[in-house]
Structure 1
C-alpha cells in the first residue's frame, strides 16, 4: 500500500488517452457550427473561375475585345457574347457606359471574399457524413448523396466564415438583380435585339445562376446566423 502511494504516476492516464485529450481533431465539439453542404462548395469552386474569366475580360477592355492584343485565345468567346449583350461589346465602349466596368471591380472584390471563405472552410472545417444545411436529402440523391454531406466549421472561424459567405452572397445577388433592373428600365437597350431563344439561354439562364445560388446561400447562411444568435441568447445548442 505504501509503495502504491509513493508512485502517483501509476494513476496517470495512458499516453494514448492523453494524446486523444490533447489532439484538436479528437476533441468533441458542441454548440453552434457552420455546416455548408458539398453542393454549396462545388458551386463556388465551379463559379469562381468563370467570374475571374469574365472580370478579366471586362477590366482589360478594349485589349481583351476582338482586334485587341489579348483577345485570342482566352476571351475569344466574348466576340459573340458582345453581340448578345451590348454592355459587353463595342456598344458600351462607344457610349462610354461605365456600368460593366463598375460591376467588374465588384466582381473582383467578391472573388477575393469567396476565396477567403473557402480557405476558412477547408483550413478549419471537417468533412462529415451528416446532412449539410439546406442541401437535398441524402437518400433522395442516391449515389450522389455525398453532395449533401457537410463540411463543418466550429468556433470563431465558423462565425467568420458564415458572416463572410452571407454578406458576399448578398452583394452578388443584389448586383445581378440590379443588372437586370437596369435593362428593364432602359427598355432592354443592350439585349432587346435578340430573339427569345438567345435571350433566355445565353442571357437569362446564364445570369440567373448568379441570382439563384447566392439567394440559396443567403437563405441557408442566414438561418445559421439566426440560430447562432438564438443560441447565444438562450444558451441552446444547434440542431442539424
Structure 2
C-alpha cells in the first residue's frame, strides 16, 4: 500500500489559526450591536472599533441601514470554518486523509472566492468604493488592505498545494493511440 504523505504543516497551521480568526470575526458581526462600542460584549471585540472606521460594513451605520451582506458573509464563514476543523480532524486519521484533502480544498476555495466577492462588493459600484472610501491611503493600506490581502494570498497557495496533493492521488492513465 502506498504511504500517504503528510499534509504540510503550514497548511494545518493556517487552517487552524485562520479558523479561530474567522470565528472571532463572525462573532463580532453576528453579535452586533452587543459587540460594538457601548455594547456589553464590546471589550471582547474592541479592535473592531478602528477597523469599522475604515470598513464601513462593520459599522453601526451599515447595521442600522439593514445591509445584510456582512451578516450573510459571516454565516458562510461558519460553514467554511466547520470544513476547516473537520479537515484537520480527518487529517489526524491516516485512512481519512484523502477526504480531509477534498474538504480542505473546498473550504480554501470558499475562503478565496468569498474574499474576492467581499472586495468586489466594495469596488464594483458606479459611484466607486462604497464601504472603504474616506480613509487616507496609509490608513486604508494598514487597517484594510494589508490584513485582508492575506485572505487572498494564503488560500491561493493552499488551494494550489492541496490541488497538487489531490492530483498526485489520482490514478495514472495511459492513452492507447
So what's the TM-score if we normalise by structure 2? 0.90
SS in 1 for 2:44: coil
In 2, distance between residues paired with 1:205 and 1:88? 17
Given the alignment, which residue of 138, 149, 152 partners 1:197?
A: 138
Contact 1:40 1:217 in 2 (8 A): yes
Match of 2:90 among 120, 125, 128: 120
Contact 1:58–1:104 (8 Å) recurs in 2: yes
Partners of 2:51 and 2:144 within 8 A in 1 = no
Q: Give the aligned partner of residue 41 of structure 2.
A: 70
2:19 matched residue in structure 1: 48
Alignment root-mean-square deviation, CA: 1.6
Larger relative contact order (CA 8 Å, sep ≥ 6): 1
Deviation at 1:68, TM superposition (A): 1.4
Q: Which has the larger radius of gyration?
A: 1
**Cα separation, 2, equivalents of 1:168 and 1:106:** 11
- Pair 1:109 & 2:50 matched: no
**Correspondence for 1:221 among 149, 162, 168:** 162
Contact 2:115/2:152 (<8 A) preserved:
yes
Matched pairs, number: 172
Counterpart of 1:30 in 2: which secondary structure?
Answer: coil
Deviates more, 1:56-65 or 1:36-45: 36-45
Residue 189 of structure 1: how far off its partner (Å): 1.1
Q: Name the TM-score, length of structure 1 as normaliser.
A: 0.68
Cα pair 2:23 2:78 within 8 Å, conserved: yes
Structure 1 equivalent of residue 63 of structure 2? 93
Instruction: Tell me which residue corresponds to 2:28.
Output: 57
Deviations 1:36-95 (A, max 9, x none): 211121222222221111110011111111111221x20111112111110001121132
Aligned equivalents of 1:36 and 1:201: distance in 2? 32
Partner residue in 2 for 1:211: 152
Identify the match of residue 165 of structure 1 among 104, 118, 124: 104
Unaligned runs of 5+ in 1: 1-28, 125-152, 235-240
CA distance in structure 2 between the partners assigned to 1:179 and 1:34 by the alignment = 34
Query: What residue ranges of structure 2 are gaps of 5+ in the alignment?
Result: none
Q: Which deviations, in whole Å up to 9, do the C-alpha atoms of 1:123-180 show, x marking residues without a partner? A: 32xxxxxxxxxxxxxxxxxxxxxxxxxxxx4x4x122011001000000100000111
